[in-house]
Amino acid sequence: MQSKQMLDEAPYYLKDFIMYMETIKGKSEKTVDEYFFDLRTFLRYMKVLKGQAQIDDFDNISIRDIPIEFIREITLHDLYEYLSYTLRERLNNANPRARKVSSLKSFFKYLLNKAKLIAFNPAAELDAPKKPKTLPKYLSLDESKKLLESIDGTYKYRDYAIITIFLNCGLRLSEMAGINLKDIHEDKLTVFGKGAKERTVYLNAACVNAISDYVKNERPKDGIKSPHKDALFLSRLNQRISVKTIQHIVKKHLEAAGLDTAKYSVHKLRHTAATLMYRYGHVDVRVLQEILGHTDLSTTQIYTHLDDEQLRSASMANPLSEINKK
């Protein structure tokens, strides 16, 4: 977790759940943090709902003193009360509320089946709000080329390699930061994704050349201390590059290319890679699933919908589309 101090403020069963999700289920630090924040908010609201705290001082409500007996009294109705509160008072839309439902389901399932601290699971029948389907935003082929052509500056080889890999391989932000020199074998890159799942990504000529140019012309040869020696991408301090630095790099070059940084981000480069592979490389959706490291095929299938939209737009653009029989 980001802060062990925050975890110290949690009751023992929440601490155990968080450690279980991190060490046994292999969830990422970001995911584990989200579980904790979601459940802390939930437990605070439960104290308010049961008359044990005042909502006016919500962010300072302690959850450390909540006994397991309190948890055993929580009902499905209480869970829906909480979701109503997140919508009404915290203005959470469908996506964060769906995530909170997932957190609650995982938490109560753990308490019932693993910790065996409760006799029934009130979240078993809890329904998640329906999330609106939105097509991912992505750079066009011309915009992608423009972005690459605009890269310059002190660390131009490093930045060019990072953005080239994003646009060609569709890596996640954390995966990019975590690349080690030993993970690269000629045109093969071993990637450690969500839940520490390992997959192989093949590097095309553009990626191989970009990495080679960076290592040859810019990556420091000396002065790199352990544990940063094996990191592919280094910061100006000769340390493994952080996700925040990568985000800054991408934003800087998007701006330099005249692209809207409110619309495009690091994750949109992942969308771009997937879209370009599907549209121009005619990649099978199951192959694309493996490349992107998606567990669920339905997550990958959103990129097939992009072509559906293109087909629909093409049909609507036909000059005969508005002619009706009189």
More confident residue, 297 or 3: 297
Hey, which CATH number is domain 141-314, 1.20.1200.10, 1.10.443.10, 3.30.565.10, 3.40.50.2300? 1.10.443.10
Identify the pLDDT of residue 326: 52
Q: Which of 160, 270, 271, 278 is catalytic?
A: 270
Interacting residues of 194 by C-beta distance below 8 A, sequence separation 6+: 28, 31, 172, 293, 295
Same CATH topology for 4-114 and 141-314: the answer is no
Q: Which residue, among 79, 3, 2, 5, has the nearest Cα to 39 in the 3D structure?
A: 79
The question of whether 90 is a catalytic residue gets the answer no
Q: Is residue 234 within 8 Å of 241, Cβ to Cβ?
A: yes
Per DSSP, the residues of 186-214 read TTEEEEE-GGG-EEEEE--HHHHHHHHHH
What number does CATH give the domain 4-114? 1.10.150
Residue 308 has pLDDT above 70, yes or no: no
The per-residue pLDDT of the chain, averaged, comes to 87
Higher pLDDT, 225 or 216: 216
Residue 163 has pLDDT above 80, yes or no: yes
pLDDT band at 166 (very low <50, low <70, confident <90, very high): very high
Q: Out of 194, 199, 228, 279, which one is annotated catalytic?
A: 194
Residues of the chain with pLDDT > 70, as a percent, come to: 89
Indicate if the pLDDT at residue 88 is higher than 80.
Answer: yes
Rounded distance between C-alpha atoms, residue 59 and residue 21, angstroms: 25
DSSP letters, 262-286, are TT--HHHHHHHHHHHHHHHS---HH
More confident residue, 111 or 282: 111
> Does the pLDDT value for residue 311 go beyond 60?
no
Contacts of residue 127, Cβ cutoff 8 Å, sequence gap at least 6: 101
The residue ranges of every structural domain in the chain are 4-114, 141-314
Residue in 105, 228, 252, 267 annotated catalytic: 267
Question: What pLDDT sits at residue 310?
Answer: 55
Of the candidates 165, 168, 195, 167, the residue with the CA atom closest to the CA atom of residue 177:
165
Judge whether 286 counts as a catalytic residue.
no
Pick the catalytic residue from 294, 305, 325, 326. Answer: 294
Element (H, E) at 184: strand 184-185
Tell me the β-bridge partners of 190: 200
Q: Which residue is catalytic, options 27, 44, 97, 172?
A: 172
Contact indicator for 106, 34 with CB cutoff of 8 Å: no
Clarify whether 294 is annotated catalytic. Answer: yes
pLDDT at 244: 93
Active site includes 312? Answer: no
Separation CA 36–CA 14 (nearest Å): 8
Catalytic site residue 303?
yes
Q: Are 136 and 271 in contact (CB under 8 A)?
A: yes
Residue 112: Cβ-neighbour burial (10 angstroms; 0-12, 13-18, 19+): middle
